[in-house]
Amino acid sequence: MNIAVAADHGGFPLKQSVLDLVRQLGHQASDLGAHQFDAQDDYPDFARYVAQAIQHGQAQRGIIICGSGVGASVAANKLAGVRAAVCHDVYSARQGVEHDDMNVLCLGARVVGDQLAMELVKAFLAAEFSGEQRHRRRLEKVIGMERAK
């Protein structure tokens, strides 16, 4: 898969390890910034870069890293077709894809350690949407809510 990865200053320390892991797992990784540490940069910009890569079909999944993961998920979910969530446990990182078709994983570099972050990325990328009828029905309701905005 093509995976878009981005981080603000809060997530910057974790970004290169995530990029390296994504590539080790056999995926293509696009580094959408920040390309250098800038304490004044803003997470919505990086969330938008990843969300737009999903919208334009340049990436099938995205990973956004900020300090907590919260701002990244709030911002990314403003763009249609993006289903982003903060997942700091492996169960949610996997089940969010299997049940909810989550396509963007948000991580908080100030919350999770490097090793847990790597496990979260592995679980997220290994998971597939189940396609089960009840999950499709719920996803259609979510998409309907998005269309009604």
User: Which tokens is 58 given?
Assistant: 């340049």
% helix, strand, coil for the chain, step of 5: 50, 15, 35
68 binds ligand RB5 per the rule CB under 6 A? yes
| Catalytic residue status for 66 | yes
107 binds ligand RB5 per the rule CB under 6 A? no
User: Which tokens is 124 given?
Assistant: 């997220």
Out of 3, 4, 10, 104, the residue judged to bind ligand RB5 by CB under 6 A: 10
Neighbours of 47 (CB within 10 A): 29
Least distance (Å) between residue 90 CB and ligand RB5: 21
User: Which tokens is 127 given?
Assistant: 């998971």
Q: Which of 66, 88, 106, 135 is catalytic?
A: 66
**Closest by Cα among 123, 8, 27 to 75:** 8
Stretch that binds ligand RB5, among 60-68, 77-85, 86-94, 134-142 (CB under 6 A): 60-68
Neighbours of 119 (CB within 10 A): 16
Out of 3, 19, 43, 86, the residue judged to bind ligand RB5 by CB under 6 A: 43
8 binds ligand RB5 per the rule CB under 6 A? yes
| Catalytic residue status for 9 | no
